[in-house]
Structure 1
Amino acid sequence: MPIELPFDDEEASTDVDLRTQVLRFIATGVLSAVFDFGLTVLLQHVVEWSPTWSKAAGFILGTTIAYLINRRWTFRAEPSTVRFIAVVALYAVTFGVNVGVYGWLSDLWDNTAIYSAVAFCIAQGIATVINFVVQRAVIFKIK
């Protein structure tokens, strides 16, 4: 069974309106992005890992946090192995998009914290839109 996060005590339900889902998704995304960006910058500029490996580690941490909160709070979906596998597949795709865009922009620009932040925001923004649309339209409709 997938890892569960006891985020609230209300019964899970997919009947959350779009506005609430968007606001919760954004709040969860901001929290997850803080962890993602923090680890990315730490590994890249302090530990001196490559931008790609740093972003990969940050992405894994951030998306793990995001899944645990979004499943329970944003989409209020019951635990499901099929859904968990679908999320893992989606995250594999957005991992490639996120890390690929970040690495590509990092190769184009100077290796500074400012350019890293801009590259991070662009890569994260693209991945976030993909994640929300697919999760809302497909994954959290799975019974």
Structure 2
Amino acid sequence: MVPVEGRRGGRRDLLQQILRFAAVGVVGAAVDLSTYLLALHLGLAFYAARALSFICGTGTAYVLNRRWAFRVEGSARRAAGFVLLYGTTFLVIMGVNTVALAVLPHHWWTVTLAWALSQGFGTLCNFVMLRLVVFRT
């Protein structure tokens, strides 16, 4: 019997995949937050700024996750699955962000914390769905 760590798809592969996913997440989140804050600074409405930042961060994450974190070839089916997943996630993230902005006290850090809460929730959901559905190998 081959030990779990030696099998493809074992604990070691999962841990490496999680670490790569986290690194991609940091890059995607930096793109997302930077775009969001810049768009707000330039006067875009909250919803437009969040939509634009989500598209920029998601596009970055898709390319890096497909090529590096999950190491799979691109296909129309995978791209469609990714768009469906992230479209659904976008609605969830917008809901979490909206609720957070409504309930958090208004301080200089409120917008960033609301973004971080929504991003964290979306990231957890996305990893599970990307691994089990979109980038399943």
Q: TM-score range by the shorter chain?
A: 0.7 to 0.9
What is aligned with 2:47?
Answer: 52
Corresponding residue pairs, total: 128
Q: Structure 2 stretches of 5 or more lacking a match?
A: 1-7
Distance 1:112 1:71 in 2: 38
Q: CA RMSD in A?
A: 1.8
Percent identical residues = 36
Richer in helix (by share): 2
What is aligned with 1:26?
Answer: 22
Distance 1:66 1:111 in 2: 30
| TM-score for both structures, normalised by structure 1 | 0.82
What is aligned with 1:3?
Answer: none
Q: Is the 8 A contact 1:55 1:102 kept in 2?
A: no
| TM-score for both structures, normalised by structure 2 | 0.85
Q: In the TM superposition, what are the counterparts of 1:73-112 in structure 2 within 5 Å?
A: 73-109=68-104, 112=107
Higher alpha-carbon deviation: 106-115 or 73-82? 106-115
Q: Which has the larger radius of gyration?
A: 2
Higher relative contact order (CA 8 A, sep 6+): 1
Change (3 A) 1:125 1:36: same
State the shift of 1:31 in Å: 0.6
What is aligned with 2:34?
Answer: 38
Q: Is the 8 A contact 1:43 1:49 kept in 2?
A: yes
What is aligned with 1:130?
Answer: 125
